[in-house]
């Protein structure tokens, strides 16, 4: 049996599973939630000063291969940063460790190749039109998953019964995974906000702070790496949002509706004045979003980036200027597998304190 | 009497300067501009670098900050190109693109920065863009378009000559590999014995910055080593090696580095390879790992990887090099 696996990537992990199922693959080794141990074995075999996501992906693949996986699927495209090298380096390392496996690389920047790989290497003998159909389903489910994440990061901050929003989110994810048919999925998406509204009882007294998280996509979206920052902020009573999304890399809506301005285009326009050209990764977006959220009247930004991440060191160096010129508090935190919880928590609390004081003095 | 003021343009002696200095300096000089290049890296420049640059940045980028600080007060403009790539599909390190704007943002008091953006891979830039850039910079300093064209021609020629002098042709390389030809002709090898041959591999701005590389070229010379640098390897041979990979090494300058290492691992024509790695360099974290693993899979040519940062000590380095040269010498016999 040639079992297939993929990296762990926050709630998008659900999406990858859905995707494979839609393509007729049920022989899946689901990646485990990355643990301390995953990070340790990953970094033991990783290059010196490689960026942190690499170590987690390596550790995850090692665990999955040991659990019986043979085909490893991951993205890989050429940008200004290292992401496109992940698979060749991973391949060499895993080979040298003596594992038996095969890589399947999906490059969404090259649609023809992307579809070819899906059809020939991943899917269970599907026809091209069937694959296109699954893409539509997967995209819509992706929108649902993203919405649940958003709702969770909002409701958890104001929930009355601790843990109730997470229960709803879990239920929602399950519904999304199981739902069939494009109509039903679209309907489900409309129902999701109501689900949270109905089932989470809110603490109505509070007037919560609102903070957006920006930065490198993997560290922002993978809770096991970012020490569950969304939850931590929520528990401090802060509503959290993140503009960081897979959308910034694959934009289906943009393909079907070229007149709609994507979020990415809007942020890039805002960032232009400070960082005119793409430096890879999410650097320009981090800058543009800070300005955008200020305009939407949010209270502050948390900028996360993995240790040695190239694009985000650039944005981190420019963000202080943005923060000053737009009067928007920003805290930049670098994260790697050794980031300690205690220090991290203290810094978040101090930041939230600062925002609270700022808000109070503004109200007066 | 009117005193004619010449404009001064400052260029930091760091990063891509080491690749493109003939072109850049000639261009401005021919426009009648006084070009001020920061001095060779010194301890003081390093101290300034560490003080001003972001902590997590790679050592080479940090040094750039020090070089900017060294000349900022005496120039009217700084010249910091935003260089994306000059290859159809391959790119360069993103830091080259972001650097100018990072400096401007962190130090608003710097003199105005001339920051032409050029990127073939991502923006499809070519000759037209180049002409546009040449004129838009040129007109800052002269009204005479012919002068600009002439300056650009000269600059281009200087760069070409520089490459021609630097890069070996395949025949010369072959002769060197056969020990029929010495690259460092100051040597006086003992009768009948050939000097050991080493490839010194790394970014131009490390290889040629004696302070950053802790004088490694000098150390090798003193030990009677006949070395070749990755800059000298014919591009055709680099590309030949790159074609063998099952992935595309899309950082253009890393191709030179990994290509040189792979070439010599395959040919086994030398006694050792020394690979200079920059601490916290993104691209090096990739090529460093690849090189180490290729060398491990085919260990006939020993590989020494040295990591450089602001704390690397000269004595430690020398000991490691000596031990390595001993090993290479023993293998040679
Ligand atoms: S964006 Fe940063 S962390 Fe992500 S792959 Fe690129 S360099 Fe690594
Ligand atoms: S290639 Fe490496 S050393 Fe050069 S600027 Fe980029 S990160 Fe720094």
Q: Is A85 within 8 Å of chain B by CB?
A: yes
> Rounded to whole angstroms, how far apart are CA atoms B220 and B40?
20
Query: Does the distance separating the beta carbons of B296 and A317 come in below 8 Å?
Result: no
Name chain B contacts of A316, Cβ cutoff 8 Å.
54
Nearest to B93 by CA among B257, B212, B231, B250: B250
Q: Produce one character per residue of B130-147: b if its CB has 16 or more CB atoms within 10 Å, e if not.
A: beebbeebbeebbeeeee
Our CA dihedral for B260, B262, B266, B268, rounded to 10 degrees, sits at 50
Beta strands B197-201 and B226-229, pairing class: parallel
Both tokens of A293, joined, read 């959220």
- Domains and their CATH numbers in chain B: 8-165 (3.40.50.11890), 168-332 (3.40.50.11900)
Q: What number is the average pLDDT over the span B216-231? A: 94
Q: Is A49 within 8 Å of chain B by CB?
A: yes
Q: Is A273 within 8 Å of chain B by CB?
A: no
Distance A306 CA to ligand 1 centre (A): 7
Which of A82, A279, A313 comes nearest B97 by C-beta?
A279
**What is the pLDDT, as a whole number, of residue A292?**
96
CB B225 within 8 A of CB B200: no
Distance from the Cα of B182 to chain A's closest Cα (Å) equals: 35
Atom of ligand 1 nearest to the CA of A312: 2
Q: Chain B interface, mutation test: which of A110, A277, A320, most B Cβ atoms within 10 Å?
A: A277
**Distant-in-sequence, close-in-space partners of B56: CB < 8 Å, separation ≥ 6:** A307, A308, A313, A334, B280
Q: Produce one character per residue of A154-169: b if its CB has 16 or more CB atoms within 10 Å, e if not.
A: bbbbbbeeeebbbebb
Name chain B contacts of A84, Cβ cutoff 8 Å.
250
**What is the pLDDT, as a whole number, of residue B64?**
98
pLDDT tens, residue order, chain A (364 aa): 579 999 999 999 999 999 999 999 999 999 999 999 999 999 999 998 899 999 999 999 999 999 999 999 999 888 788 999 999 999 999 999 999 999 999 988 888 999 999 999 999 889 999 999 999 999 999 999 999 999 999 999 999 999 999 999 999 999 999 999 999 999 999 999 999 999 999 887 778 999 999 999 999 999 999 999 999 999 999 999 999 998 887 766 666 666 677 888 899 999 999 999 998 888 999 999 999 999 999 999 999 999 999 999 999 999 999 999 999 999 999 999 889 999 999 999 999 999 999 998 887 6
Query: Does the distance separating the beta carbons of A49 and B280 come in below 8 Å?
Result: yes
Which ligand places an atom closest to the C-alpha of A222?
Answer: 1
Chain B residue with CA closest to A87: the answer is: B247
- Does position B327 have pLDDT exceeding 70, yes or no? yes
**What is the pLDDT, as a whole number, of residue B186?**
61
Name chain B contacts of A79, Cβ cutoff 8 Å.
91
- Give, in order, the Cα–Cα distances in Å from A51 to each of A315, B44, B186, B281, B309: 16, 30, 43, 10, 18
> Rounded to whole angstroms, how far apart are CA atoms A59 and A62?
5
Residues whose beta carbon lies within 6 Å of some atom of ligand 2: B 15, 58, 60-61, 93, 95, 203, 278, 281-284
Interface of B with A in 269-298 (CB under 8 A): 279-286, 288-290, 293, 296-297
> Rounded to whole angstroms, how far apart are CA atoms B259 and B118?
25
Query: Does the distance separating the beta carbons of B93 and A310 come in below 8 Å?
Result: yes
Name chain A contacts of B102, Cβ cutoff 8 Å.
314, 317-318
Distance from the Cα of B146 to chain A's closest Cα (Å) equals: 31
Query: Does the distance separating the beta carbons of A280 and B285 come in below 8 Å?
Result: no
> Rounded to whole angstroms, how far apart are CA atoms A356 and A354?
5
Residues whose beta carbon lies within 6 Å of some atom of ligand 1: A 51, 53, 81-83, 216, 218, 281, 306, 309-312; B 282
> Rounded to whole angstroms, how far apart are CA atoms B43 and B213?
13
Give residue-wise pLDDT tens across range A249-292: 776 666 666 667 788 889 999 999 999 999 888 899 999 999 99
Give residue-wise pLDDT tens across range B173-205: 999 998 888 888 665 555 567 889 999 999 999
Distance from the Cα of B153 to chain A's closest Cα (Å) equals: 28
Nearest to B288 by CA among A81, A86, A48: A48
- Give, in order, the Cα–Cα distances in Å from A107 to each of A78, A84, B132, B198: 9, 9, 34, 39
Cross-strand partners of A3: A69
How far from chain centre, in Å, is Cα A141? 15
Q: Chain A interface, mutation test: which of B15, B53, B54, B56, most A Cβ atoms within 10 Å?
A: B56
Q: To which H or E segment does residue B272 belong?
A: strand B272-278
């Amino acid at each position: 049996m040639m079992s297939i696996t993929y990296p762990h990537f926050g709630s998008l992990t659900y999406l990858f599973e859905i995707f494979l199922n839609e393509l007729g693959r049920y022989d899946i080794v689901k990646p485990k939630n990355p643990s301390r141990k995953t990070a340790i074995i990953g970094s033991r075999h990783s290059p010196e000063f490689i960026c942190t996501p690499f170590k987690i992906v390596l550790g995850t693949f090692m665990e999955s291969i040991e659990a019986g996986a043979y085909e490893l699927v991951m993205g890989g495209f050429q940008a200004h940063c290292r992401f496109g090298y992940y698979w060749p380096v991973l391949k060499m390392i895993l080979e040298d460790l003596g594992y038996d496996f095969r890589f399947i690389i999906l490059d969404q920047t090259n649609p023809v190749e992307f579809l070819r790989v899906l059809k020939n290497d991943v899917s269970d003998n599907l026809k091209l039109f069937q694959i296109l159909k699954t893409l539509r389903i997967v995209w819509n489910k992706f929108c649902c998953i993203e919405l649940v994440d958003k709702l969770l990061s909002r409701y958890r901050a104001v929930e009355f019964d601790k843990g109730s929003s997470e229960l709803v989110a879990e239920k929602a994810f399950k519904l999304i995974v199981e739902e069939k048919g494009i109509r039903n999925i679209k309907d489900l998406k409309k129902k999701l906000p109501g689900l949270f509204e109905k089932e989470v009882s809110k603490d109505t007294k509070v007037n919560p702070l609102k903070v957006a998280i920006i930065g490198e996509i993997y560290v922002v979206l993978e809770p096991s790496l970012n020490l569950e920052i969304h939850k931590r902020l929520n528990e401090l009573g802060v509503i959290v949002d993140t503009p960081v999304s897979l959308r910034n890399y694959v934009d289906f809506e943009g393909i079907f509706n070229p007149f709609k301005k994507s979020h990415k285009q809007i942020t890039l326009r805002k960032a232009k004045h400070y960082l005119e050209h793409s430096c890879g990764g999410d650097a320009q977006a981090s800058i543009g979003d800070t300005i955008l959220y200020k305009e939407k009247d949010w209270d502050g930004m948390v900028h996360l980036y993995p240790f040695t991440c190239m694009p985000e060191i650039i944005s981190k160096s420019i963000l202080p200027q943005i923060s000053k010129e737009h009067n928007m508090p920003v805290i930049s935190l670098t994260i790697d597998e050794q980031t300690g919880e205690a220090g991290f928590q203290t810094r978040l609390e101090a930041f939230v304190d600062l925002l609270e004081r700022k808000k109070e003095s503004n109200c007066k | 009497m009117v005193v004619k003021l010449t404009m001064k343009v400052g260029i930091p002696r760091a990063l891509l300067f080491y690749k493109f200095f003939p072109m850049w300096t000639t261009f401005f000089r021919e426009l009648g501009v006084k070009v001020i290049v920061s001095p060779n890296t010194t301890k003081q420049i390093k101290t300034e670098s560490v003080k001003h640059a972001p902590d997590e940045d790679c050592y080479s980028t940090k040094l750039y900050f020090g070089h900017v600080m060294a000349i900022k007060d005496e120039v009217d403009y700084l010249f910091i190109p935003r260089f994306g790539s000059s290859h159809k599909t391959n790119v360069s390190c993103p830091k080259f693109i972001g650097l100018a704007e990072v400096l401007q943002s962190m130090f608003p008091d710097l003199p105005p920065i001339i920051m032409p953006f050029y990127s073939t891979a991502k923006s499809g830039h070519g000759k037209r863009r180049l002409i546009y850039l040449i004129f838009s910079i040129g007109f800052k300093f002269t009204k005479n378009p012919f002068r600009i064209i002439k300056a650009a021609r000269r600059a281009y020629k200087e760069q070409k000559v520089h490459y021609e002098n630097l890069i070996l042709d395949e025949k010369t390389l072959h002769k060197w590999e056969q020990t029929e030809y010495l690259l460092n002709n100051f040597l006086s090898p003992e009768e009948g014995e050939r000097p050991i041959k080493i490839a010194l591999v790394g970014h131009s701005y490390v290889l040629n910055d004696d302070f950053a590389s802790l004088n490694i070229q000098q150390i090798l010379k003193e030990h009677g080593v006949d070395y070749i640098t990755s800059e000298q390897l014919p591009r055709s041979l680099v590309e030949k090696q790159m074609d063998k990979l099952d992935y595309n090494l899309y950082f253009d300058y890393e191709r030179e580095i990994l290509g040189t290492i792979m070439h010599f691992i395959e040919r086994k024509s030398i006694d050792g390879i020394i690979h200079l790695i920059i601490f916290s360099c993104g691209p090096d974290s990739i090529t460093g790992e690849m090189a180490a693993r290729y060398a491990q899979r085919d260990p006939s040519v020993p590989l020494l990887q040295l990591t450089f940062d602001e704390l690397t000590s000269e004595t430690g380095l020398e000991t490691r090099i000596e031990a390595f040269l001993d090993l290479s010498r023993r293998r040679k016999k």
